[in-house]
Structure 1
Amino acid sequence: MTSVRVPAGSPATEEEARAVQDALRARVVLDEPGPPAGSGYVTGVDVAYDDERDVVAAAAVVLDAATLDVVAEATAVGPVPFPYVPGLLAFREIPAVLAALERLPVAPGLVVCDGYGRAHPRRFGLASHLGVLTGLPTIGVAKNPFMFAYDDPGAARGSWSPLLADDGEEVGRALRTRAGVKPVFVSVGHRVSLAGACAHTLALASAYRLPETTRRADALCRRALRETTT
């Protein structure tokens, strides 16, 4: 594990954070298909918090996309750098996630975030933020639809329905990864199409509702937090 340092000039207020979001959002790339599903490396990132000690632990787990075997993993632990503000959660997580990614001995390939990309009130969730900062293709796979409406997709695996904003914009998709099980909510982060993001999610969720990237990163960051705070 390694400690996390908050970069100089990081936003200290909600107003500053929103200004950073506005500036970075203009750099999101939405017209690239992204790497094909089931090929190369794919990396899951996730974070866990110790609220009493104001500590965040991040994990990055690289899988072989074809076999879902673990190729490499890394963690980073440090102080929570920003207060809890809905819509600005990326500022609490980005420094630790970047530190974990930097410790990987291999290039991460596509990065899967446990959260949102375009499916965000400001159209710039963690997956988009991370993608712009790193230049990597990123997607968000969330457990709930946040503030967006959707019709329940068909019961079969692979069924989906659009995730819609109030103005009718499709910001993501509700995707059924397991037959008869609650869908996950997929959105583009950076340099991937929405269809490609869903294809990756299905390829990574061959046995469970959540992608294997998310499951492994979740377990690793929780373990890192326990080892640091006990």
Structure 2
Amino acid sequence: MIDRPDHWRAPPDLRAASVAQREMAEAAETTDRFGPVATIAGVDTSMKWRDSRGPIHAAAAPIAWPDATPLTASSVSVIPPIPYVPGYLGFREAPAIVAAVEALECRPDLLIVDGHGRPHPRRCGIAVHVGVLLDIPSIGCAKTILCGTVEGDLGPDVGDRVALVDRGELVGYALRTRPKTAPVYIGSGHRVSLDSAVDWILKISDGRRLPLPIRLAHDAANVARRNYAAADQ
């Protein structure tokens, strides 16, 4: 991880956490700044149901691009520094996600994060948080809305999108990635524009609701959780 202020990783209280989120949102780049993409990694976490303080099991699952061949995933299990607090998920999950990404055999060119980017009350969802900490281009792909409203009717076809707007600001898109299936909510994380984020999600969703790297990371994180539980018995 590159050098970042300590309170971006471990703020002493929620007031400092809010300040850190606003600073990271300001530091996040919302225009394209990435080179050729040869490796795309999805990141996701898993944890024991209703366990707000137990370990976070994070996985980073890369694919080669453009052939979409899965590469070796990495996973870590980390006791989170704070329990779950709505709006502050990044401080709970980012340490484990960052460790999983840093454990990969090679640094990915693009991160697809299971969670929000700028569609966040302080514009610092987990995709912004992780992307800024690692300084890796990142995209948020969430399954539900955290903030804002969808303005307009979403069409039925793959690629149809409508604006996700919060307090008058376009923060993301509701995007149809599979017919007759609920949309995903796409937001820029870091060093990727919103339009490019949508384009990439469509490229790697291969007819499924969630993009391939996130599906692989989801599976890897669940394997890490089960292995941890088995070792603890």
Q: Distance in 1 between matches of 2:9 and 2:147?
A: 31
Amino acid paired to 2:41: T
Which residue of 1 is the match for residue 204 of structure 2? 204
Q: Distance in 2 between matches of 1:190 and 1:72?
A: 24
Which residue of 2 is the match for residue 130 of structure 1? 130
Asked if 1:15 is matched to 2:15, the reply is yes
Which residue of 2 is the match for residue 31 of structure 1? 31
Name the CA shift for 1:214/1:131 in 2 (closer, same or farther; >3 Å).
same
Asked if 1:90 is matched to 2:83, the reply is no
Q: Distance in 2 between matches of 1:34 and 1:154?
A: 31
Which residue of 2 is the match for residue 3 of structure 1? none
Any gaps of 5 or more consecutive residues in structure 1?
1-5
Give the TM-score taking structure 1 as reference length. Answer: 0.90
* Residues 7 and 16 in structure 2, CA contact (< 8 A), matched pair in contact too: no
Name the CA shift for 1:154/1:35 in 2 (closer, same or farther; >3 Å).
farther
Q: Distance in 1 between matches of 2:78 and 2:142?
A: 24
Q: CA deviation at 1:90?
A: 0.5
Cα RMSD (Å): 2.0
Query: Equivalent residues in 2 for 1:55-94 (5 A)?
Result: 55-94=55-94
Asked if 1:100 is matched to 2:105, the reply is no
Amino acid paired to 1:49: M
SS at match of 1:26: helix
Which aligned runs of 4 or more in structure 1 are off by greater than 4 angstroms? 6-9, 33-36
Any gaps of 5 or more consecutive residues in structure 2?
1-5
Identity fraction in percent: 36
Q: Distance in 2 between matches of 1:141 and 1:204?
A: 12
Name the CA shift for 1:30/1:228 in 2 (closer, same or farther; >3 Å).
same
Which residue of 1 is the match for residue 177 of structure 2? 177
Q: Distance in 2 between matches of 1:74 and 1:9?
A: 21
Which residue of 2 is the match for residue 163 of structure 1? 164
Once the two structures are superposed, residues 61-111 of structure 1 have per-residue CA deviations (whole angstroms, 9 ceiling, x without a partner) of: 011131221122100101121121111000110110111111101121100
Give the TM-score taking structure 2 as reference length. Answer: 0.89
Name the CA shift for 1:32/1:154 in 2 (closer, same or farther; >3 Å).
same
State how many pairs are aligned. 222
Once the two structures are superposed, residues 24-54 of structure 1 have per-residue CA deviations (whole angstroms, 9 ceiling, x without a partner) of: 2221111225457xx4211000011121761
SS at match of 1:120: coil
Q: Distance in 1 between matches of 2:219 and 2:93?
A: 17
